[in-house]
Structure formats: C-alpha cells, structure tokens
A and B are shown apart, each in its own frame.
Chain A
C-alpha cells in the first residue's frame, strides 16, 4: 500500500535522507555519533591530556609545562616523561594526609547526614498526603537556591560574633564566643547541610515503597515498634541508605568550596590541595598528578561499587 511511502514523500526528510545516503551514513549512526563525539572529545580526551601533563615538569612559560616530545641533538623525536611528580606525591606526607582526611571527612559527614536525614525521610513517608507533599517540597527547596550562598549562610552563623555565639552569650550560657568557624566541625556542618536533600530523597523514595502491611504483620506477630523498626524497616530500607550515602559521600570527597570557606588552614582535603596546587603554586603537572591519583584511588572504586550495585538491582 502507498501508506508507508510517507517518509520518502515528505520533502525535508527526503533531502536529508538523500544526503546521508550519498555519504554512506545511516541515520542511526548519526544519532549515535552526536553524544559519542561530544563526550569523547570533552569528557574522555581531557583525561589523556591530564595523564600526559602529569608526566611533564613545571615551567615558567606558556604553557607552564615541558612538552612531551622533544627533538634530540641528532634530530630524532624523543619522549620526555618522568614519574617525578608521582614520586613527589608519595614522599610528601601532605598529599597522603589530604587523601586520608578527605575520606574521613566525607565518611563522618555521610554518617551525620544519615542520622539527621533518616528520621525526616521516615516521617515524611508516613505523613498524610497534603502534609507529605509540602514537607517534601521543603526538603527540596534549599537545593534550588544557590549552593554557594547556603555555605555562606553558615559563615554568618558560625563566626565568633555570629548568630549562634551572640545568642548563646546573650542567654548567658557562655561567656566567651566558641570557635566554630575554620574548624573541621564547620566543614562537617557545611557538607551535611548542603547534601542533606540528596540523603533524604532516596531514603524517602525507598520508605514510601515499604508496605505498611509488613509493619502491621510484624506488630501482629508480637514485635514492639522498636523491634519492628530494627528488624523490618531498617533492613528493608538498606538500598535507600546505600543510595543516599553514595550521593552524599561522592561529592563530599572532592569538595573544594566548603573546606575553603568554612575550614581552617589545617583542614586538609584533596580537592582543596589540587586547587591550591593549580591556582596558587601554578604547578600544573603536580595538580594533574594529584588528579590522576584521585581518579585511581577514589573515583575508580566508586564507579566499580556503583556498577556492582546497578548489576544487583537489575539481576
């Protein structure tokens, strides 16, 4: 029937189809090529550049690093690559401490986010309808405002003449201001505060799926609410806990802004070290080496864990 010839008959498609046919490209290939090329050039290729520059030496020039190839005295092309930067990272305790302390800060913040987020998620999941939507919106709302300004808000809160200290002093609870700004404590608060919605949302999604008949069955079988929570609710919400914790842990570990604004000079985090290496020391090769080590030690394990998790969900 003539029905099917619509494609060949409508003019714009006909022109495109003809051109692509001439070039030997199928529409399918074209559609695949667009995201593939973009991400290949702007996401994948940069890592090769990163790796290559991590093997160079810093120069005071433009660009501020030695070239990878150089003509030898006999005119032959020589590759100059040195592992000097990596050796430096391993010998200088600063970097090792920064990696370890990043993991610690991210871990502690994740635990606190879970402790604060779980009751909220649980409460919202159990709330009746109009209340539930409103509370959920209230959890998401801060996320839509500026991240930087939310961190900034805590600066006004935690300073020695900030809101908390002023309140406590005027209430007569303390005499001298507590030092909260520029401490690890402030960094924990900043991270928990910023990423709390990421903890609450997956938990909430998981807890609403929890069949209330299960809880009724448990109490019917004689479990107290306390026991029910620890034997039924908590184990069943484990996937939500894992998902939420990942969403907090992952951005926290490479965080720069929060330790830079709320942390003290001794708050070591690897994102901050990389930033300083690049912007303050202007040592691009060392900054690249820090990034490569971070990729291998932090990002690769996270991606591996996630692929396991995905496979488990599908299987």
Chain B
C-alpha cells in the first residue's frame, strides 16, 4: 500500500464523499429551476424557501421533537447504562441488556410499524395516546435514541475509575449524592456527546416518524421526502445548503471550544 495507489484511493474516497455535497451547494445558487443546468447566480430559492410555511412549520416541529427526545433519551439511556454498569445483579438484568442494545440493530421499518401498532391498540384499550402526533413521535424517537446514548454512557462509565465514587461514599455522601456530585460531572462530556447524537438522529429520522406521526405533525424529513420523491427541486438545495452551513459553523465552534478547554486544562 505505498506509492501512488494509496493517495489515489484516498483522493477518490474523499471526492466520492464530497462531490455530491458540493454540487448540492453550488446548484442552490442556480437561477434555473432545472437543478443541474447552470442558469446564472441567484439566491431566489433561498427566498422561496423562507416563504414556504410548510417547510418552516415542519422544521419547527422537528426541532421540538429532537430537543425533547434527545433530552428524554439522555435521561433514560444514562439510567440504563448506570444500572447495567454499577448494579452487579438484579432480576431482569439480561432483559434490560437486550432491550438496550436491540434498538441499535432493529430496522427502522420494524420499530416504526410495531410502535404504531402499539399506539393504536393502546388508544383502543386505554384511550391514550389520543391520536398520533408530536407526543407519539417523541416517544418513538426517545426509545431508539436511548439505545445510542446508553452505548456511549456505558463505555464512559466502564472506563471511569470506580474508586472516585467509592471515595465520595467514603467521605460521607449517600448513593444519590455520589451520583450527582461525582458520577454525573465526570461522565458529562460523554452525555453531551450522547445528547448531540440523539438530537441528530431524531432530526434525521424519516421512517419511524412517518409511521407514528399523525395529521398536522409532519417533521422536516417527511416534508422533504414528499417533495423530493417527485424529483429534484431547487429550494431543497437551498435548505440543504443552510443545514450544511449550520453544521459547519457548529463543528468549527465546537472545535474551537475544545481546543480552548484543552489549552486551559493543560
């Protein structure tokens, strides 16, 4: 693997990764409606995007869902990870292990369908949830995102020096205090990463949301999908460009913060 082959293969790989994204961005500034034929520079699609109530409304719904489910998933995932790493034996341990890891390998169509069927039969027997909408999407996203948070939290909890918790116990803190005073602050960076991952996964999800949402609660991916299905449309390019720009800025800020923290710490 030396000489020309490796650099060439790597260059090809990165072109493969970035060429579609770059062309997406370039054609978002295209005057022409024909997305792939250059008709001169223009920002008209951005204007059109900002006037599109459907897209703006669904983006707002998506953000709400992502925020709520990332937060809930972080709580549930962290508790699950904590229980599995710190309590050596309890009834149902094997079951919990399975339920926490299984969502990672579950095809989205199955998760979506089975949850919808659950909601429908719960509504029939218990009267709750009445219809489907924001609540059911949040529940569904929380459930599958919790698994991802749990994986991250679990690996951090395993690598954490357990004598830190013992030291706090030894100095007179009860179990609850130890969790909030020591465990939580120490694993906090991992939980932030888990929250961000859950937030992204929730924002990104189309399949599960399509199953469990109801009328009036379309998430952004659902709206994009229904538009894109009919063919390429330039305002979607504009939307993609905005999202990419947003992610880039976020990553740059995160990188800058991280370097600053490192410099301060060292």
Report, nearest first, the 10 A-B pairs whose CB atoms are least far apart. A254-B107, A7-B174, A46-B114, A35-B80, A153-B20, A119-B9, A39-B99, A46-B118, A149-B240, A50-B114
Residues of B within 8 A of A116 (CB): 9, 12-13, 16
**A294 x B175 contact (CB < 8 A):** no
The number of residues on chain B lying at the interface, defined by a beta carbon within 8 Å of a beta carbon of chain A, is 92
A27 to B175, Cβ gap below 8 A? yes
Residues of chain A with a CB closer than 8 A to B18's CB = 138, 142
Q: Which single residue of chain B is at the shortest CB-CB distance from A295?
A: B110
Known: A27-B176, A149-B239, A150-B20. Is A256-B118 also a contact (CB below 8 A)?
no
CA distance A250 to B106 in the complex (A): 8
A44 CB–B CB distance under 8 Å: yes
B110 engages A156 (CB within 8 Å) = no
Distance in angstroms from B253 CB to nearest chain A CB is 13
* Assembly CA distance A153 to B95 (angstroms): 41
Which one, A31, A146, A154, contacts B203 given CB within 8 A? A146
Query: From residue 148 to 195 of chain B, which have CB atoms closer than 8 A to chain A?
Result: 150, 172-177
Cβ B110 vs Cβ A36 within 8 A: no
A171 at the interface (CB under 8 A from B): no
In Å, the complex CA distance between A42 and B243 comes to 31
Question: Chain A 104-126, CB within 8 Å of chain B: the 1/0 string?
Answer: 00000000000011011011000
- Smallest CB-CB separation from B92: which chain A residue? A36
**CB atoms of B17 and A196 under 8 A apart:** yes
Which label, helix, strand, loop or mixed, suits the secondary structure of the A interface? helix
CB of B229 within 8 Å of the partner chain: yes
Q: Give the A interface residue count (CB, 8 A).
A: 85
Q: Which of B86-118 contact A (CB under 8 A)?
A: 87, 90, 92, 95-96, 99-111, 113-115, 117-118
- The residue in chain A whose Cβ has the minimal distance to the Cβ of B98 is A303
Residues of A within 8 A of B251 (CB): 137, 141, 144
A42 touches B139 (CB 8 A): yes
B1 A146 Cβ-Cβ under 8 A: no
1/0 per position for B61-102, CB-CB distance to A under 8 A? 000000000000000110110110001001010011001111
Of the candidates A34, A123, A274, the one whose C-beta lies within 8 Å of that of B109 is: A274
Q: When the two chains form their complex, are residues B172 and A4 in contact, meaning their CB atoms are under 8 A apart?
A: yes
- Closest B residue to A284 by CB, please name it: B117
A47 closest partner in B (C-beta): B114
Interface of chain B residues 1 through 19 with chain A (CB within 8 A):
1-2, 5-7, 9-10, 12-14, 16-19
Q: In the bound complex, how far is the Cα of B124 from the Cα of A191, in angstroms?
A: 39
Question: Contact at B76–A38, with CB atoms within 8 Å?
Answer: yes
A156 close to B229 (CB less than 8 A):
no
Q: Are A157 and B20 in contact (CB under 8 A)?
A: yes
Indicate whether A241 reaches chain B with its CB closer than 8 angstroms.
no
Chain A nearest CB, measured from B4 CB (Å): 12
Question: When the two chains form their complex, are residues A148 and B105 in contact, meaning their CB atoms are under 8 A apart?
Answer: no
Q: Is the CB of A120 within 8 A of B229?
A: no
Nearest CB of A to B254, in Å: 10
